[in-house]
Amino acid sequence: MRLIPILLSAHVCCVSVVVAQTGDSNGQSARFLMPNGAALLARDVTMTVKSGIPVFRATVQNDSGAGWVDVAANVGIRAKCPDVRSIRFQASLGGLPPGVREVSDAIVSARRDFVQDCELVGVDSITVSKGSLESASEARAREERMKSDEAEKKRIRAAIEIDAQHVKDLKAAQDAEQHRMYAEAERKEALDAEARRNCHVIFKDTADKKVADLTVREAQAVHACQALGYYE
């Protein structure tokens, strides 16, 4: 992502905060500095209004290698409501571990500045007002949580795969049973058709004979054909 030249420089809590802004196909982006000078990127910045409350959302990319906790920032944006105007508010970014994190905060204090059809035009500034580096114990705890979460995700994926295989096996068994039933029905239909053809011949040969004149084989055949409706 290529940033356009620096737009704004400010001072908050004795820390020089330099902000550069850019726009891309995914939304507004801005770099901001942490108290130790590490530069973080807030990208895909959006402002939406739900039930009259504006919500600030962004994806914070922390490539500094260090984690931060309890981070809050003063944010300045330009919004079209319908006229373009500057709006400033404080947003809670929470914990910002190394890597990428989605942040979201309802901006209740600035709700009077927004209307439902406000449209974000640009991000003017993000200046960190609060936040501290993770302690060694907090970093270890975060890493343990990440390992535990990843292990749980693997367990869930494995369970889903097992369930999917079970469903696949069950469907295969159902398909096989249905195929067997169809084959059995077709076989029975073929046998019935053959039996009717045979009975038609037997009926022609025996219909006018007396029972006493039938051979044992003919009597058995006649008895079988009676079940198919012959001799009624």
Q: Distance between CA atoms of 194 and 61, rounded to whole angstroms? A: 77
Q: Which residues of 135-168 are buried (b: 16+ CB within 10 A; e: fewer)?
A: eeeebeebeeeeeeeeeeeeeeeeeeeeeeeeee
pLDDT exceeds cutoff 50 at 11: no
DSSP letter at 149 equals H
Beta-bridge mates of residue 18: 9
Q: pLDDT category, 13, cuts 50, 70, 90?
A: very low
Q: Distance between CA atoms of 116 and 49, rounded to whole angstroms? A: 6
Enumerate the domain spans of the chain. Answer: 6-133, 151-226
pLDDT exceeds cutoff 60 at 7: no
Residue 38's pLDDT is 93
Arithmetic mean of pLDDT over the chain: 81
**Lowest-pLDDT range of 24-33, 48-57, 98-107, 166-175:** 24-33
Name the amino acid, one letter, at 108. Answer: V
pLDDT exceeds cutoff 80 at 48: yes
Q: Which residue has the higher pLDDT, 122 or 2?
A: 122
Backbone φ/ψ region at 18: left (φ over 0), alpha (ψ -120 to 50), beta: beta
Residue 35 CB neighbours (<10 A): 17
According to CATH, the topology of domain 6-133 is: Immunoglobulin-like (2.60.40)
pLDDT exceeds cutoff 70 at 6: no
